[in-house]
Copies of this chain bind each other. A is one copy, B any other.
Amino acid sequence: MTDTPTLQFWFEFGSNYSYLSVMRIEALAKAAGVRVQWRPFLLGPIFKELGWSTSPFVLQKEKGEYAWKDVARQARKYGLPFRRPSVFPRVALLPLRVAVLGAGSDWMVPFCERVMSQNWRDDLEINEEANVLAALDGLVDDPHAVIAAALSDENKRRLRENTEEARARGIFGAPSFFVGDELFWGNDRLEDALAFARQSQAS
């Protein structure tokens, strides 16, 4: 094989550990020589199918309280700003639709990083159109047109399909990484997933 190894990156703007991976993945993947395929999806419907009414961090109070300390500590370790948001988990339908629309474009990655900063650094309602417009500002010619396209039936369907694919492939949380059929779950496995992608390609 001579293709560049590829890593699928499944993430949600409302997911706290997805924040850490969204902010770290491009630099690490570049250093590893791995191409990242960004796959936004909705975590809510997956949690519901698993029988959870909301995030496990809300349902399991002890683990949830610990997770806030842990995310803050990990962010500090990575040199990332972090503030516990006043709402969790935040609805992220509109920015996820925009991210789906932008898949493969130049602006998609910086857009995702900005939405994450809004949620986890600035404590902003990321589902509000004004904030999505701000996150698109300077990245695309016409932010309003991008939002209109993101709200088309075809694009809405794409996000639903991403979510159904995530469920069908056994994803139960975010972030998740796929190298071929090998699933890696959680920001803690990003480095392992990249190493696996490199090894798979070399073999």
**A interface residues, Cβ below 8 angstroms from B:** 50, 60, 62-63, 65-66, 69-70, 73, 77, 170, 172-173, 183-185, 188-189, 192
Interface centre among A50, A70, A77 (most CB of B within 10 A): A70
Residue with the greatest number of chain B CB neighbours at <10 A, chosen from A66, A170, A173, A184: A66
What distance in Å separates the Cβ of A107 from its nearest Cβ neighbour in chain B? 33
Q: Quickly give the copy total for this chain.
A: 2
Residues of B within 8 A of A192 (CB): 73, 77
Interface of A is mostly: helix
B183, A62: Cβ atoms under 8 Å?
Answer: no
Considering the chains assembled together, what is the distance between the CA atoms of A185 and B183 in angstroms? 22
- Say which residue of B60, B66, B173, B188 sits within 8 Å of A183 (CB atoms): B66
Enumerate chain B residues within 8 angstroms of A60, measured Cβ to Cβ.
50, 172
